Amino acid sequence: MTFTSYAQNFEDVMLWRALKHIQNGFYIDIGAQDPVVDSVSMAFYEQGWRGLHVEPVLNYAERLRSARPDETVIQSAVGEAGILKLFEIVDTGLSTGDPEIAKKHRESGFEIREADVPCVTLASILDRNADRDIHWLKIDVEGMEEQVLRSWSRSPVRPWVVVIESTIPNSQVDTHDHWEKVLVELGYDPAYFDGLNRFYVARAHAELKGAFYCGPNFFDGFSLTSTSPFCSALANKLDADEQQVQQMARALEDAQTQLRQSLVEAERFAADLAQREREAKETSLQFQRSREEVARLADTVALREQEIGEGRSQLQLSREEAQSLAHALSQREQELSSAMIRALQSESDVAKLLEEVSSIYASHSWKITSPLRFVGSIAKRVPRYGIKILGRSRPAARHVGRRAIALPFVYLRTHPRLKALVVRSVDRWPRVAKRLREFARVSSEQTRHGWVEPTPMVAGDINWATYPSSVRRNYMQLLRASATAMGRERGGEE
């Protein structure tokens, strides 16, 4: 089985050379510190040995208990029984109970914590294991070696080999002259000095002394760990390589993460591409349909253009017809204007005639001869009505008589002044007036039935009440003649 050295200065190699023939041996490590780094016992633990550890610093004691659950760990200092003020040099194996050494460490820049810890004698530790062989005892107490050794004198237990750090901490100043005589008195002889530690062999096992004739070498067949100070360059390189490997691992992990992301993105891209392909196919189909639709539209447009061409030809013909019609309408408008001018001239002539008639009717001679004209008109009508009466029956004669009697009332209606005079005269006799009014009503109804043509009132400035009915009839005949002439001219234009 390969032997791996973990100790700071090959202490485990020298002990293994002397004790490797022992199977499942036992050891006591005072000032054990870390379970692996600079540990003298770790190589033996790997070879199946078990032991007891004494460590006053809580942090390291807990590490030992965690790493070596099958071994005994005593969290205490060793020396005179009681309480010891411990100067803990943080995160190092330099913690000490010596105030002067602690002062030097503080001056060197180390962080120091002070704590009161229990202190037990070395004799009590050895006595609790008196029933077994203690193959080696290591004492590393940072300047308190003499106090530890003096607490041993009362116990008869003698470990086979004792290893003690024999220089002032972090120096080559030897201190064994202060405490070596205690070991000599306990029955030990010096065997080996490695520049940091002194090895002592019990006189009862003097045969082991020959194993310490020279320092560690190739023939001891051991290997070193990366924590060994002799492998610092290699350890630094290994650390650098490890950091590089870690960086590469992180880079590889990042690359794997990026690759996974790329794969996810590639899957998304593939899905998107498939979707795009489907959309492209649909677009192609739509495009094909659009082309067909465009072709149909082109045919439709061609037909529409042909129809438009025909429509333009028809429009051209229509324009020519419209122009000819417009020319004809222009001529008709000119003719109508001429006719309207003639009509206006006729109306002007009629107005002049009316003015002349009005002046005649307004004259005193016309008014004085009015009764004579009335009698004359009666005389003219009597023969005509007499002939009609001879040819008809009695009802017809009665009807003619009524019409003849109604003529005075018609005359009075057309002559308001004379009517007013007659009314005032007749009102003196109420009964007569009543009968005359009834007869006038009947005569007016007969007049509406058409035997006397009613004369419509014409808008304008002419007061027809001052004219006889013959004047109004003549005026209406003139208007009808003028309207007929204008209607004929319009019909010709159309």
Per-residue pLDDT reduced to its tens digit, 392-426: 555 555 555 556 566 676 666 677 777 777 777 77
Segments in the chain below pLDDT 70:
1, 97, 229, 232-236, 339, 343-344, 346-347, 350-351, 354, 357, 364, 366-367, 369, 371-407, 409-413, 439-472, 475, 479, 481-494
Where in 147-291 does DSSP place strands (E)? 161-165, 188-193, 197-202, 222-224
pLDDT score for 134:
96
Helix 416-426 vs helix 430-446: angle between axes, to the nearest 10 degrees? 140
- The model's pTM: 0.50
Can you read off the two tokens belonging to residue 259?
Answer: 């690759």
pLDDT score for 455:
42
Domains of the chain are 3-225 (3.40.50.150), 226-361 (no CATH), 369-493 (no CATH)
Which helix (H) or strand (E) segment is 78 a member of? strand 77-78
- Phi first, then psi, for residue 5 (nearest 5°) are -90, 130
pLDDT score for 330:
79
Evaluate whether 53 touches 29 at the Cβ level (below 8 Å).
yes
Can you read off the two tokens belonging to residue 182?
Answer: 């205690």
pLDDT score for 288:
86
Which helix (H) or strand (E) segment is 50 a member of? strand 50-54
Evaluate whether 156 touches 188 at the Cβ level (below 8 Å).
no
Residue 63's nearest CA partner among 37, 35, 44 is 35
- Phi first, then psi, for residue 309 (nearest 5°) are -60, -45
Residue 193, strand partner residues? 198
Q: Is 16 helix (H, G, I), strand (E, B) or coil?
A: helix
The 112-120 sheet, strands edge to edge = 77-78, 112-120, 82-89
- Phi first, then psi, for residue 307 (nearest 5°) are -65, -40
